[in-house]
């Protein structure tokens, strides 16, 4: 079963906002066995919308459109749907009463004519009641394709997808199972992993596909299985994952895309009842940001010093100025001292420190651009590793963050 996702709005096309709706819808559809065949972002133009609908009719089973349902004149989706389905707008009393209650009851102001027009819907449409806003969703069929129109506001769209669209799709369509397993690996590049698992990949069953999803410092390996029995697919994937562990188990951190390394590390720290602190220079607080996006981080994360400038390393962390002068601010010696000082200041069990030249130009050190030192202070010792993460700057920072978590993960597992 195939779907297409269409987002309407010039604000997307000019880069004013990022289209997060499409990725959310595709993920939810995938979970119920519907594969997204195409995605489009199109302008608020009647003919462009019509051309897109004509293009997709009978090509896919369902088209989900978001955007263009607001009360202003530039929101033209409802009227365009009427043209496409040879239909007219009529007033829906249930929607009108909901709009009235929302405007007069919640916003405490009189309902206007423009608000009332939100209750105008195509006469042939099944109305998807939008509890979260004034614009209802619409469900319409033409020949072999269902067209669904939803508001572009993300929380309204999500409510309608979860409460109206998905239940209807499950009820009306027979769907195959699509099962994914994402293996999270850290510390090894895509090409090297591909070489190590080449024979295994060549012998995958025909209904199982492998995709490589690389990013700085990590590679996600996504296995996708399609078939009629969910239990059989899960069993087949477990067999393949077990074989994969035998080949590259030392770099596998989790078998869950939602369990990135910072989440796994956080769970380990919490389980063992130990704490972590940071002293960041070249990563500029990115490690701390990554940690604190995880709920429950307060159980193990004590804090961070972002000592970006040399003066901050001396005045706040208390790094010996002579050490910096003798070895440079980007050095193993300074990184080790930063980690120990962070451990001391925050009274933490573990401390990570980063210092380096992320580029594009050199700072207070002559170290080669891309050079990063990552130090880890443990309850027993402190050690440091040197890396060169190349360029550009974003890649250096991203790889440094992931490498820091990788070093901590391996250290915790040793104990």
Of 117, 138, 172, which closes a domain? 172
Q: Are residues 184 and 51 in the same domain?
A: no
156-179 per-position pLDDT tens digit: 999 999 999 999 999 999 888 889
298 shares a domain with 385: yes
pLDDT grade, residue 361 (50/70/90)? confident
pLDDT at 217: 87
For residues 301 and 410, membership in a common domain is answered with: yes
Report how many domains make up the chain.
3
Host domain of residue 399? 261-414
Examine the domain organization and report whether 144 and 23 are in the same domain.
Answer: yes
**What does the block give as tokens for 171?**
């009820």
Which of 387, 302, 396 has its CA nearest to residue 352? 302
Our measurement of the distance from residue 278's CA atom to the centroid of its chain's CA atoms, rounded to an integer in Å, reads 25
- Going from the C-alpha of 369 to that of each of 22, 34, 222, 285, 358, the distances in angstroms are 38, 46, 33, 19, 6
Q: d(Cα 342, Cα 315) in Å, to the nearest integer?
A: 13
Domain of 142, CATH number, reads: 3.40.980.10
Last residue of a domain, one of 210, 235, 254: 254
CATH number (domain holding residue 325):
3.90.950.20
Domain end, chosen from 146, 172, 198, is at 172
- Do residues 334 and 363 lie in contact, with contact meaning Cβ atoms separated by under 8 Å? no
Q: Is residue 230 predicted with pLDDT exceeding 70?
A: yes
Mean pLDDT, all residues of the chain: 93
Angstrom distance (rounded) from CA 36 to CA 182: 18
- Predicted pLDDT at 3: 97
CATH number reported for the structural domain that contains residue 200 in this entry: 3.30.70.2860
Q: Indicate if 214 and 157 belong to the same structural domain.
A: no
Closest CA to 70 of 3, 142, 157, 6: 157
Same domain, 407 and 329: yes
91, exposed or middle or buried, with CB in 10 Å at 0-12, 13-18, 19+?
exposed
Q: Across residues 275-293, what is the average pLDDT? A: 97
User: Model confidence at 252, in pLDDT bands (50, 70, 90)?
Assistant: very high
The burial class, CB within 10 Å (0-12 / 13-18 / 19+), for 181 is: buried
State percent of the chain over pLDDT 70.
Answer: 99
Give the residue from 251, 239, 166 showing the smallest Cα distance to 207. Answer: 239
Judge if 266 and 399 occupy the same domain: yes
The pLDDT tens digits for 99-151 are 899 888 887 888 888 888 889 999 999 999 999 988 999 999 999 999 999 99
**203 lies in the same domain as 157:** no
Task: Supply the pLDDT for residue 322.
Answer: 96
Residues 148, 30 within the same domain: yes
4 contacts 36 by C-beta, under 8 angstroms: yes
Are both 107 and 231 inside the same structural domain?
no
* pLDDT (tens digit per residue) in 68-105: 887 777 678 999 999 999 999 999 999 999 989 988 88
| 188 lies in the same domain as 161 | no
pLDDT at 364: 63
Q: Mark whether 290 and 395 lie in a shared domain.
A: yes
């Amino acid at each position: 079963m195939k779907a297409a996702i269409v987002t309407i709005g010039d604000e997307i096309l000019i880069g004013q906002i990022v289209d997060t709706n499409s990725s959310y819808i595709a993920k939810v559809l995938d979970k119920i066995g519907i594969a997204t065949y195409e995605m489009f972002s199109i302008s608020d133009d009647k003919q462009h919308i019509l051309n897109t609908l004509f293009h997709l009719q009978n090509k896919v089973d369902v088209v989900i459109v978001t955007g263009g349902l607001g009360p202003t004149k530039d929101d033209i989706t409802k009227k365009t749907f009427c043209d496409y389905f040879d239909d007219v707008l009529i007033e829906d009393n249930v929607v009108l009463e909901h709009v009235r209650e929302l405007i007069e009851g919640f916003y405490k102001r009189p309902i206007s004519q423009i608000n009332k027009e939100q209750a105008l819907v195509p006469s042939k449409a099944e109305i998807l009641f939008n509890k979260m806003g004034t614009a209802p969703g619409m469900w319409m069929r033409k020949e072999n394709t269902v067209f669904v129109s939803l508001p572009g506001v993300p929380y309204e769209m999500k409510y309608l997808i979860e409460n109206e669209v998905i239940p209807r799709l499950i009820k009306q369509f027979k769907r195959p199972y699509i099962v994914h397993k994402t293996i999270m690996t850290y510390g090894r590049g895509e090409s090297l992993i591909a070489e190590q698992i080449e024979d295994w990949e060549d012998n995958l069953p025909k209904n199982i596909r492998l995709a490589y999803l690389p990013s700085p410092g990590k590679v996600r390996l996504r296995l996708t299985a399609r078939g009629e029995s969910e239990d059989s697919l899960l069993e087949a994937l477990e067999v393949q994952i077990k074989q994969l562990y035998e080949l590259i188990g030392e770099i596998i951190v989790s078998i869950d895309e939602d369990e990135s390394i910072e989440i796994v590390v956080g769970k380990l720290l919490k389980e063992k009842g130990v704490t972590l602190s940071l002293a960041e220079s070249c990563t500029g607080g990115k490690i701390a940001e990554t940690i604190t996006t995880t709920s429950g981080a307060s159980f193990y994360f004590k804090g961070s010093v972002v000592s970006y400038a040399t003066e901050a390393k001396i005045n706040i962390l208390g790094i010996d100025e002579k050490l910096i002068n003798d070895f440079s601010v980007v050095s193993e010696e300074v990184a080790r001292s930063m980690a120990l000082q962070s451990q001391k200041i925050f009274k933490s069990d573990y401390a990570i420190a980063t210092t380096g030249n992320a580029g594009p130009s050199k700072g207070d050190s002559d170290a080669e651009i891309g050079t990063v030192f990552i130090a880890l202070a443990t309850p027993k010792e402190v050690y440091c590793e040197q890396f060169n993460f190349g360029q550009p700057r974003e890649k250096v920072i991203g790889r440094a963050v992931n490498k820091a978590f990788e070093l901590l993960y391996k250290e915790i597992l040793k104990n």
